[in-house]
């Protein structure tokens, strides 16, 4: 390739760079498996993988090499789907307070919300993961609690409605049957004793009446 062709490529590359307002050395994030178009008509890097991340340099090779363009390309996989779970809920007549956990494959964050009929306040809910340029966040918007997992090339989320969270039923522990059985047993026993006692007293009075009448 002649130096003039290389120069034409670099000029086109810089023109494309300026049009997109990307300065030399600025990270360019690309989704894994996608193509990188450094120049629309001439330069395409196909099917980029994470191992292809690195610095790409455009230079003029005539008498001496002159670097005219530099790109720090970072290839990222899609953000994995997160999971939003509710760990606790408390309610009163005017507000609802609950704590949620937003989890990804590599991290999790907790956030507590206190909501009334009009507004919600939030404590906690944003963290950068150990994976570079990957973010986990919890927020509320339009009646939803949103767990976002994102990087520079993709994002995904899990949601729950605030209304459903605040009105979800807490399943109580099953009652112990022993006190119920004992209560029923003693109730029946007391009723039986009462019936027998009344029957005995009535029979006794009847017997006394017969004895008195016979003595007369």
User: CA-CA distance, 193 to 178, in Å (whole number)?
Assistant: 22
Record the tokens describing residue 25, joined without a space: 């050395």
Comparing C-alpha atoms, which of 103, 214, 88 is closest to residue 156?
103
Residue 115: partners with Cβ closer than 8 Å, 6 or more residues away: 95, 96, 97, 121, 162, 166
Is the pTM value of this prediction over 0.85? Answer: no
Would you say 47 and 35 are in contact if contact means Cβ atoms under 8 Å apart?
Answer: yes
Residue with tokens 């399943």: 171
The pLDDT of residue 113 is: 94
Residues counted in the chain: 216
Please report the pLDDT score of residue 41 as a whole number: 41
Alpha helical stretches, state H, the chain = 3-19, 162-166, 177-215
The predicted pLDDT at position 1 comes to 40
pLDDT of residue 129: 62
Task: Tell me how far CA of residue 110 lies from CA of 91, 123, 139, in angstroms.
Answer: 19, 9, 11
Check if the beta carbon of residue 140 is closer than 8 Å to that of residue 122. Answer: yes
Write out the H or E segment, with its range, that includes residue 141. strand 134-141
Give SS3 for 155: strand
Cβ atoms of 198 and 190 within 8 Å: the answer is no
Long-range contacts formed by 118-122: CB under 8 A, 24+ apart: 120/162
Per-residue pLDDT tens, the chain, 216 aa: give them: 443 333 334 434 443 444 344 444 667 888 887 777 665 445 667 788 878 787 877 766 666 666 667 778 888 888 999 999 998 899 888 889 999 999 988 888 999 999 988 888 998 877 766 677 889 999 999 899 999 999 999 999 999 999 899 886 444 456 677 788 888 888 998 988 888 888 878 777 776 665 665 555
* Distant-in-sequence, close-in-space partners of 151: CB < 8 Å, separation ≥ 6: 29, 76, 79, 131, 133, 134, 135
pLDDT of residue 25: 63
- pLDDT at position 147 is 95
Sheet holding 120-123, edge to edge: 83-91, 96-103, 108-115, 120-123
């Amino acid at each position: 390739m002649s130096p003039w062709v290389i120069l034409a490529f670099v000029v086109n590359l810089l023109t494309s760079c300026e049009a997109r307002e990307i300065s030399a050395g600025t990270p360019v994030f690309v989704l894994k498996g996608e193509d990188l178009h450094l120049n629309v008509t001439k330069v395409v890097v196909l099917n980029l993988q994470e191992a292809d991340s690195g610095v790409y340099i455009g230079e003029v090779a005539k008498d001496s090499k002159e670097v005219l363009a530099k790109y720090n390309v970072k290839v990222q996989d899609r953000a994995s789907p997160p999971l939003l779970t509710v760990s606790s809920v408390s309610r009163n007549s005017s507000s609802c307070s609950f704590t949620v956990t937003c989890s990804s494959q590599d991290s999790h964050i907790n956030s507590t919300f206190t909501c009334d009929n009009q507004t919600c306040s939030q404590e906690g809910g944003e963290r950068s993961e150990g994976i570079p340029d990957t973010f986990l966040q919890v927020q509320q918007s339009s009646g939803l609690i949103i767990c976002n997992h994102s990087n520079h090339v993709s994002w995904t989320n899990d949601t729950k409605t605030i209304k459903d969270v605040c009105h979800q039923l807490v399943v109580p522990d099953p009652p112990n049957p022993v006190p119920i059985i004992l209560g029923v047993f003693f109730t029946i026993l007391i009723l039986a004793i009462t019936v027998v006692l009344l029957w005995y007293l009535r029979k006794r009075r009847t017997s006394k009446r017969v004895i008195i009448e016979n003595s007369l």
